[in-house]
Chains A and B, each alone.
Chain A
Amino acid sequence: SSELTQDPAVSVALGQTVRITCQGDSLRTYHANWYQQKPGQAPILVISGKNNRPSGIPDRFSGSSSGTTASLTITGAQAEDEADYYCNSRDRSGNRKLFGPGTKVTVL
């Protein structure tokens, strides 16, 4: 399969931990990247590769992977973390970019 799947929505209490997952066969071969998108804004990269945070991304964001599942964990979620989160990887050929359908994170 050349698809990535994500849960449509998750909620987390302020200050608690939430894990968002992304599943796909291509994740056996390629790392997942994670993007945060707030309403009316462009996506921003929060995790790339194995577990790399771009400059300016808080260390409460972390990534992990096992088999066909990649995960983004927010440890100590803040109100400003409420957003849509998309995973992305490549298809088996490596020549096409795949995006998951996105997970809406609500911070309660």
Chain B
Amino acid sequence: EVHLLESGGGFIQPGGSLRLSCAASGFTFSNFAMTWVRQAPGKGLEWVSTISGSGGSRFSADSVKGRFTISRDNSKNTLFLQMSSLRVDDTAIYYCAKEISGTYPVTSDSWGQGTLVTVSS
């Protein structure tokens, strides 16, 4: 059974940095692309970033490009999201999700429970 557990969320001031982690189990991690999706309070889902199984390809939303970096450690079955220059409108629950594809942001078939990031002064 696929299990995804996010961590690293918390309260941070605007302009600050935070690194989220997602520990994966129950599947061959390196075979699948992984994705971060966020959801602001009371709002819909917003795709953030996807990384291929090998880590060689990365795709990001324009809203986070240059500020957020997705990465992975296949030896530790862990996905990361390094967030910098955080803004109030980055406040959201951040979900990690497994893709059915090895490379592209296609279909997220399993999701973690999310970690809350609050950006406020």
Interface membership of B73, Cβ < 8 A: no
Interface of B is mostly: strand
Stretch of B13-21, B22-30, B78-86, B109-117 with 4 or more beta carbons under 8 angstroms from chain A: B109-117
How far apart sit A62 and B109, CA to CA, in the bound complex (Å)? Answer: 16
- Report the nearest A residue to B93, measured CB to CB: A42
Identify A99's interface contact among B47, B59, B110, B111, CB under 8 A. B47
When distances are taken between beta carbons in the complex, the residues of chain B under 8 Å from A94 are: 104
How far apart sit A44 and B46, CA to CA, in the bound complex (Å)? Answer: 15
- For this complex, into which size category does the number of interface residues on chain A fall? 20 to 34
When A48-B100, A96-B59, A97-B35 are in contact, do A102 and B44 touch as well, CB less than 8 Å? yes
Most buried by A among B104, B105, B107: B107
B108 near A90 (CB under 8 angstroms)? no
How far apart sit A22 and B41, CA to CA, in the bound complex (Å)? Answer: 23
B67 to chain A minimum Cβ distance, whole angstroms, is 16
Interface membership of A49, Cβ < 8 A: yes
Q: List 30 A-B contacts (CB under 8 A).
A: A35-B108, A37-B45, A42-B111, A42-B113, A42-B114, A43-B37, A43-B95, A44-B111, A45-B107, A45-B109, A45-B110, A48-B100, A48-B107, A48-B109, A49-B107, A54-B109, A84-B44, A86-B45, A88-B108, A90-B104, A90-B105, A96-B59, A96-B61, A97-B47, A97-B50, A98-B47, A99-B37, A99-B44, A100-B44, A102-B45
Which residues of B approach A to under 8 Å, CB–CB? 35, 37, 44-47, 50, 59, 61, 95, 100, 104-114
